[in-house]
Amino acid sequence: MSTVKNWQLGREMAYPYDARYPERQFAFVFNINRCIACQSCTMACKSTWTFNKGQEHMWWANVETKPYGGYPQWWDVRILEKLEEANPGGQVWGGTPADARFGPYGTFEGQTVFEAAARTLSPDSARVLGYLPTDEEWNSPNIYEDNPIGKRGVRNAIDQTGEQLPVHNTWFFYLARICNHCSYPACLAACPRQAIYKRPEDGIVLIDQAECRGYRKCVEACPYKKTMYRGNTRTSEKCIACYPRVEGTDPETGGEPMETRCMAACIGQIRMQGLVQMAEDGTWAEDRYNPLYYLVHVAKVALPLYPQFGTQPNGYYIPPRWVARPYLRQMFGPGVDRAIENYISPSRELLAVLQLFRRSNRIIFRYQIEEGPKIYEGSLHGRKVELYNDTVIAFGKNGRELFRTTVEEPVYVRPNVHANSI
Amino acid sequence: MPYADPEPDDPQELVGVEWPGDESVTREMAESFADEFAQLGLPRAEILALYRQPEYSGAHRAWRLLGDDEIARIVDESLAVFGRFTWVVTDSADDEPEPQPLRLYRRGS
Ligand code: SF4
Ligand code: SF4
């Protein structure tokens, strides 16, 4: 095993290969507070990439209801349990969240999927702690989740109360997921044929279909369960980050890098995807006015999903503000309290950057804010709130302006017939 | 949502535990949805419909627990801040590049 630096864990860790970083990295931020589980993202992906025979069970993009839902069922509970068995009582964070780009959430003192494997698995070829989900676990995305359907035998009508089982009395939320195009991919680490590679230009992780022999080591290893086996081709497949769009080679893009299908389809406007610049040590290079860099490293409202697994995932989430904190800390690490605090009392800049979500399908490389006058000051749910008419301008790859947003008070024009009435 | 009653010996059967929470959690959830959808520019009737109809279960659950009056009050509070403005998005004039003709690639060519 080599030793690599994992900035999310604030320490070095063991990984089967030497560190290599792409020039830019595919990354995204999902604002969970807004997701309505409409599954438009899921279907956008399905209808683009996985509608063929043998792919019926495949949902490269999925949305599951937490805490009880999962695709495959119980994926996170099962891997958390395995790590706990490998290192009982030791899966904890130390230190305190800080401002640094390396170790912003403190230091993870437990074991990653790579480290736990080195201690507990034999033979040596077993490089990653994981498990193979059963067919049943793959086959039923969203089973028992809160999808209202009609009463049996009654057509074209939705059940009026919408649920029978299970009713969560207090909280739940929707977790949208795709492959995290990890910096230290567990799928890649586990492949005995080296059929999985990470592209140097954008960090997208792909399975070479000509090399894959369907050993399913990647399926077993990915802690997020985002590689899937296809029976009729006897190969594994995974999210390809809609790379023709990201490259700007899809005819629809007109040569400009464009966000993936699942991002573009998002009804709740929760998603933003981009390409961040990487530094030589594997951290994100400082790029103050890249919106993703701002959300992750400056405002610190967006956090990686289960960073303790150790793959340095590149999907980030603004955590749902109403959910029990111990649960969120387990899922997103110790940065949760700061993230929610910053989100519910947003700074002027954060409010402006949140306006960039889903205003364009092109990838935003930089934003700029032109400050305007204060237009509102008051309180909201007991907290102070100030709004400004700032103009936020988004720029694309070549520095071209994509769009700008401003705030306007609605103007009511009195119809002619009433023009002079009081 | 299953049609049949729970079958304990079905391996697919959900084994659920309830996570404790209190009214303040429900309220925070209801306020969160109101703030988000008011910022997205939805009018009052549409935001209220999200709570009243069962399809959006989180909001609907909060509506059932807190009642219609309280949800309306929360929505009005969010709209008092975010409902007074409209976010205006202006696309840059040259934002839409010319679509390229579709080219097909043949493997090995
Ligand atoms: S999420 Fe899984 S499949 Fe995707 S890169 Fe990471 S380890 Fe590989
Ligand atoms: S399209 Fe957006 S709002 Fe709808 S389920 Fe997907 S992430 Fe959630």
Residue B75 lies in a domain: yes
Residue B16 lies in a domain: no
Alpha-carbon distance B109 to nearest alpha carbon in chain A (angstroms) = 17
pLDDT at B37 over 80: yes
Name all residues whose Cβ lies below 6 A of ligand 1. A 179-182, 185-187, 205, 222, 224, 226-227, 238, 311
Residue B59 lies in a domain: yes
Least CB–CB distance from B2: residue in A165, A254, A375: A165
Residue B102 lies in a domain: no
Write down how long chain B is: 109
| Structural domains counted in chain B | 1
Alpha-carbon distance A145 to nearest alpha carbon in chain B (angstroms) = 6
CA proximity to A194, closest of A212, A181, A214, A216: A212
The Cα angle at residue A325 between residues A323 and A328, in degrees rounded to 5? 75
Position A126 scores a pLDDT of: 75
Task: Give the architecture (CATH level 2) of A2-155+168-296+304-329.
Answer: 2-Layer Sandwich (3.30)
Strands (E), chain B: 86-91
Q: How many CB atoms lie within 10 A of CB A120?
A: 15
Q: How far is the CA of A305 from the centre of ligand 1 (A)?
A: 12
Q: Is B69 part of the contact surface with chain A (CB cutoff 8 Å)? A: no
The Cα angle at residue B49 between residues A354 and B55, in degrees rounded to 5? 90
Q: How far is the CA of A212 from the centre of ligand 1 (A)?
A: 16
Q: CA-CA distance, B13 to B10, in Å (whole number)?
A: 5
CB within 8 Å of chain B, chain A residues 248-277? 251-256, 269
Look-up: residue for tokens 């399975």?
A: A207
pLDDT at B16 over 70: no
Q: Whose CA is nearest to atom 4 of ligand 1?
A: A179
Give CA A396 to chain center in angstroms.
22
DSSP letter (8 states) at residue A284: B
Alpha-carbon distance A336 to nearest alpha carbon in chain B (angstroms) = 16
Q: Is A40 part of the contact surface with chain B (CB cutoff 8 Å)? A: no
- Using omega within 30 degrees of 0 as the cis cutoff, is the peptide bond preceding A72 cis? yes
**Region B62-68: what's the mean pLDDT?**
91
Considering only residues B108 and A203, tell me which one the structure prediction assigns the higher pLDDT: A203
Q: Is A167 part of the contact surface with chain B (CB cutoff 8 Å)? A: yes
Position A408 scores a pLDDT of: 74
Tell me the average confidence (pLDDT) per consecutive run of 10 residues in chain A, 422 residues long: 95 96 97 93 97 95 90 94 96 92 96 90 76 90 68 69 56 92 97 96 97 96 98 97 95 90 95 97 96 98 98 98 93 97 94 94 96 91 90 94 84 66 54
- What A138-141 contacts at long range (C-beta under 8 Å, 24+ apart), as own/partner pairs, is A138/A57, A138/A71, A138/A72, A138/A228, A139/A57, A140/A73, A140/B12, A141/A59, A141/A62, A141/A64, A141/A71
DSSP letter (8 states) at residue A75: H
Q: Which atom, in ligand 2's list, is nearest to the CA of A269?
A: 2
Position A390 scores a pLDDT of: 92
Domain ranges of chain A: 2-155+168-296+304-329
CA dihedral (B65, B57, A72, A231) in degrees, to 10, reads: 160
Q: CA-CA distance, A113 to A102, in Å (whole number)?
A: 20
ipTM of the complex: 0.80
Q: How far is the CA of A54 from the centre of ligand 1 (A)?
A: 21
Q: How many CB atoms lie within 10 A of CB B37?
A: 24
Indicate the pLDDT class of residue B94, thresholds 50, 70 and 90: low
Indicate the pLDDT class of residue B20, thresholds 50, 70 and 90: low
Alpha-carbon distance B19 to nearest alpha carbon in chain A (angstroms) = 8
Helical (H) or strand (E) element with A407 = strand A401-408
Position A120 scores a pLDDT of: 75
Bridge partners of A143, per DSSP, are none
Residue B39 lies in a domain: yes
Instruction: Spell out the residues 6+ positions from residue A4 whose beta carbon is closer than 8 angstroms to its own.
Output: A12, A13, A14, A15, A18, A19, A184, A282
Single-letter amino acid, residue A326: P
Residue B18 lies in a domain: no
Residue B11 lies in a domain: no
Q: CA-CA distance, A295 to A184, in Å (whole number)?
A: 22
What would the two tokens of residue A396 be? 């694309």
Residue span of the structural domain in which B48 resides: 23-82
Bridge partners of A377, per DSSP, are A386
Ligand 2, from A174, A261, A361: best to mutate by most atoms within 8 Å of Cβ?
A174
DSSP letter (8 states) at residue A298: I
Q: Is B108 part of the contact surface with chain A (CB cutoff 8 Å)? A: no
Q: Is B95 part of the contact surface with chain A (CB cutoff 8 Å)? A: yes
Position B86 scores a pLDDT of: 81
Residue B36 lies in a domain: yes
A169 Rama class: left (phi>0) / alpha (psi -120 to 50) / beta: alpha
What would the two tokens of residue A1 be? 């095993």
What are the phi and psi torsion angles at B71 (to 5°)? -65, -40
Q: Is A329 part of the contact surface with chain B (CB cutoff 8 Å)? A: no
